[in-house]
């Protein structure tokens, strides 16, 4: 038997990353069970490693892997039949399916969406939903997920083991919910996608500001949901992610420090992502059934449309923040509105709102509240207060680029 | 990735079952090993003789001290090791969770460490200390 070359191993890894979510989704439909489907898929990749060197890569790798996995599952069940007679019926049922295999090996459009809904089911622990989605839908390994979330592999593995046991024990259905169930369940899916995006976009701690791969996975997932469920909030979330993604490069300075919106080189923004984002926002707003994601995307779109920071339509941004607060009250959104008001009406008006917020005590440990206060005090020429607030922000900030930004501002204050 | 799976045995579990049951358990273990082998997951492994056959070597006060018996006396004894090829940690957990050996005692799964970089650095150090 020819040994797999390093090229083939790399190629199969790539196929895994690209296709495993879809293969798994199809196999769950064909085999009716998450674990069985996953085992069978892993076996099929193992078979590919053994057979492709001699036989060459099949023309349609995915179909080959699905059909090989299916036969592996039938084999495994037959083997188990010998040890445990109760499995007889399942194997028989699978065996009967052989003749129709050719027709059902293709992915049905909703297969992957079903898998996403299963992985993001509200009955699963929130941190498990993200890990499970990354592993089962995006094809990341346990170890990669652990690195992305700056945690240990056994911790992630345990979350995934528990989540899968829960799917099995509670018979969490493998389907796209419909009717009255859809909004809530879709909300849970979008929350996971947004969490992944943010985790990748603004790493909460550690040396690097962005972990681009996680954001890319989030966008991929968002697009997959959008393709099958073009709901206004799905458009809104994908738009929001694209508009932020467009600024990724511009928000990191030469020394790896965070560069805020008003100081970014706008020529470095990705225009095609911006166009796509704005298009989606407009479609979402036109439905008049939009929600918080679309409104946040609309705010990002107003920024993206401004050729220079001075050209920003702050009046429109203030109005969008007011709408956003009306449907999703949150101190962080209030803080953002205060910053917009400062730009529209002047720093004094913004500072008054920030101080009122801080006085309520809800943002006491939030470094950006102090950083915003510091910026406003600086603009008002209140240097001592600015210094004090920058120092407070620095004491709370965890990510290295954010700390570098605050240190730079402190130095500039003299 | 390679995972080293340490299979432990609780000896009391071996003595508390009938010979027929013991045979059935062993048969299922070996059958599962064969299945792992056929699917390319079994990359090597050995069963171990009981702890009373062990010798322990320890560097103490500048010399090697040899004692008889195992390094650690525990209720559950290391019964065998397996080198498992799996895609990731969860895949390894899934493969081993189906191993009938789990009924005799716990399995511990650890990823093999990639020492290539450490070895490379060590080779560089050793080349430097050898006179030309």
Looking at the structure, tell me whether residues A162 and A195 fall in a common domain: yes
Helix ranges (DSSP H) in A170-291: 181-201, 212-228, 232-245, 271-287
Asked whether residue A242 is domain-assigned, the answer is no
**From CA A339, how far away is CA A318, in angstroms rounded?**
9
Average pLDDT (A270-295) is 96
- % of chain A with per-residue pLDDT over 90: 58
Residue A364 lies in a domain: yes
Taking only the tens place, the pLDDT of each residue in A333-356 is 999 999 999 999 999 999 999 999
Task: Give the nearest partner residue to A161 out of B39, B87, B90, using CB atoms.
Answer: B90
A10 and A33: one domain? yes
Question: A143, A144, A147, A148: which to substitute to probe chain B, counting the most B Cβ within 10 Å?
Answer: A143
CATH classification of the domain holding A348: 1.25.40.10
Contacts of B28 in chain A (CB under 8 A): 83
Give the chain B residue nearest A160 (alpha carbons): B90
pLDDT above 80 (res A226): yes
How many angstroms separate the CA atoms of B22 and A28, rounded? 36
Rounded to an integer, the average pLDDT of A255-274 is 89
Interchain proximity A42–B91, CB inside 8 Å: yes
| Whether A64 and A170 share a structural domain | no
Q: Is A147 in the same domain as A92?
A: no
- Tell whether A220 is covered by a domain: yes
Same domain, A117 and A71: no
Does residue A192 share a domain with residue A113? yes
Ranges of beta strands (E only) in chain B are 2-9, 42-47, 55-60, 63-68, 77-85, 107-111
- The Cα A91–Cα A76 span in angstroms is 9
- Enumerate chain A positions whose Cβ falls within 8 A of a Cβ in B: 16, 35, 38-39, 42-43, 45-47, 49-50, 72, 76, 79, 83, 135, 141-144, 153-154, 156-157, 160-161
| pLDDT grade for A83, boundaries at 50, 70 and 90 | low
Of A78, A93, A108, the domain-final residue: A108
Instruction: Round to whole Å and give the CA distance between A385 and A376.
Output: 10
Closest Cβ opposite residue B90 in set A46, A79, A160: A160
> Which of B89, B96, B98, B99 is the mutation pick for testing A, counting most A CBs within 10 A?
B89
Same structural domain, A95 and A122 = no
pLDDT band at A23 (very low <50, low <70, confident <90, very high): very high
B89 closest CB neighbour out of A38, A45, A157: A157
CA atoms of B63 and B60, how far apart (whole Å): 5
pLDDT of A106 over the 90 cut: no
Domain assignment present for residue A208? The answer is yes
Range list of H helices, B75-130: 89-97, 116-129
Q: Residue A8's pLDDT band (boundaries 50, 70, 90)? A: confident
- Domain span at residue A184 reads 109-229
Domain-embedded: residue A257 = no
Do A103 and A137 belong together in one domain? Answer: no
What the block records as the tokens of A290 is: 């939009």
pLDDT digits (tens, 9 = 90+) for A28-67: 988 888 888 999 999 999 999 889 988 989 999 999 999 9
Give the mean pLDDT of A269-295. 96
Residue A195 lies in a domain: yes
Is residue A210 predicted with pLDDT exceeding 60?
A: no
| Nearest one of B106, B85, B103 to B36, comparing CA atoms | B85
The answer to whether position A383 is within a domain reads yes
A341 found inside a domain: yes
Taking only the tens place, the pLDDT of each residue in A107-126 is 667 888 899 999 999 999 98
Predicted pLDDT of residue A205: 46
- The pLDDT of A239-247, averaged and rounded, is 96
B87 touches chain A (CB under 8 A): yes
Do A57 and A145 belong together in one domain? Answer: no
Quick check: A35 and B87 CB within 8 A?
A: no
Chain A CB contacts of B88 under 8 Å are 135, 141-144
Q: What whole-number distance in Å separates Cα of residue A281 and Cα of residue A392? A: 37
pLDDT of residue A102: 45
Q: Is the pLDDT of residue A232 over 60?
A: yes
For residue B100, the chain A residue with the least C-alpha distance is: A83
For the segment A244-253, the average pLDDT, to the nearest whole number, is 89
Q: What is the mean pLDDT of residues A300-317?
A: 95
Alpha helix stretches (DSSP H) within A246-308: 271-287, 292-305
User: Domain end: A229, A245, A264, which one?
Assistant: A229
A92 lies in the same domain as A151? no
CA distance A98 to A30: 11
Tokens 């792992």 -> residue: B36
Q: What share of chain A is helix, strand, coil (3-state, %, to 5)?
A: 75, 0, 25
Domains along chain B with CATH numbers: 2-129 (3.30.70.1060)
User: How far apart (Å, rounded) are the C-alpha atoms in residues B109 and B96?
Assistant: 8
Report the domain count for chain A: 3
User: At which of A229, A259, A289 does a domain end?
Assistant: A229
pLDDT given for residue B131 in this prediction: 64
Q: pLDDT category, A10, cuts 50, 70, 90? A: confident
In terms of domains, do A59 and A169 share one? no
Distance CA A42, CA B87 (A): 8
Q: Judge if A410 and A351 occupy the same domain.
A: yes
């Amino acid at each position: 038997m020819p040994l797999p070359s390093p090229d083939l191993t790399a190629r199969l890894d790539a196929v895994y990353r690209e296709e495993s979510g879809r293969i798994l989704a199809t196999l769950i439909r064909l085999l009716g069970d998450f674990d069985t489907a996953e085992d069978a898929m892993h076996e099929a990749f193992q078979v590919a490693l053994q057979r492709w060197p001699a036989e060459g890569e099949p023309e349609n790798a995915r179909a080959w892997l699905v059909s090989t996995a299916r036969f592996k599952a039938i084999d495994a069940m037959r083997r188990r039949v010998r040890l445990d007679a109760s499995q007889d019926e399942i194997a028989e049922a699978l065996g009967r399916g052989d003749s129709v295999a050719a027709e059902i090996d293709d992915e049905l459009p909703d297969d992957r969406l079903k898998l996403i809904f299963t992985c993001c089911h509200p009955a699963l622990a929130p941190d498990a939903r993200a890990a499970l989605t990354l592993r089962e839908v995006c094809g990341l390994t346990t170890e990669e997920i652990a690195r992305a979330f700056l945690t240990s592999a056994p911790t992630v593995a345990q979350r995934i083991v528990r989540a899968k046991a829960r799917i099995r024990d509670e018979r969490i259905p493998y389907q796209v919910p419909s009717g009255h169930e859809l909004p809530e369940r879709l909300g849970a899916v979008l929350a996971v996608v947004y969490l992944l995006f943010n985790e990748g976009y603004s790493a909460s701690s550690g040396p690097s500001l962005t972990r681009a791969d996680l954001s890319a996975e989030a966008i991929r997932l968002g697009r997959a949901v959008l393709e099958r469920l073009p709901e206004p909030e799905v458009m809104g979330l994908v738009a929001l992610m694209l508009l932020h993604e467009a600024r990724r490069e511009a928000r990191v300075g030469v020394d790896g420090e965070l560069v805020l919106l008003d100081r970014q080189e706008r020529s470095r923004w990705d225009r095609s992502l911006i166009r796509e984002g704005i298009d989606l926002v407009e479609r979402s707003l036109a439905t008049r059934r939009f929600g918080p994601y679309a409104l946040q995307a609309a705010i990002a779109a107003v920024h993206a449309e401004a050729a220079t920071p001075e050209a920003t339509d702050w009046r429109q941004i203030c109005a969008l923040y007011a709408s956003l607060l009306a449907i999703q009250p949150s101190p962080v959104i209030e803080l953002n509105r205060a910053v917009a008001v400062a730009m529209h009406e002047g720093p004094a008006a913004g500072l008054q709102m920030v101080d009122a917020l801080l006085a309520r005590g809800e943002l006491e440990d939030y470094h950006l509240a102090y950083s915003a206060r510091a910026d406003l005090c600086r603009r008002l020429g209140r240097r001592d207060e600015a210094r004090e607030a920058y120092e407070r922000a620095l004491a709370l900030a965890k990510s290295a680029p954010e700390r570098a930004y605050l240190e730079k501002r402190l130095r500039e204050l003299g | 990735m390679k995972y080293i799976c340490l299979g432990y045995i609780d000896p009391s579990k071996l003595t508390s079952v009938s010979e027929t049951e013991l045979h059935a358990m062993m048969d299922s273990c070996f059958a599962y090993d064969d299945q792992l082998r056929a699917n390319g997951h079994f990359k090597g492994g050995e069963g171990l003789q009981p702890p009373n056959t062990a010798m322990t070597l320890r560097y103490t006060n500048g010399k090697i001290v040899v004692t008889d018996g195992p390094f650690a006396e525990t209720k559950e004894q290391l019964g065998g090791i397996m080198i498992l090829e799996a895609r990731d940690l969860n895949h390894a957990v899934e493969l081993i969770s189906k191993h009938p050996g789990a009924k005799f005692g716990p399995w511990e799964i650890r990823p093999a460490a990639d020492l290539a970089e450490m070895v490379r650095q060590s080779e560089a150090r050793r080349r430097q200390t050898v006179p030309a």
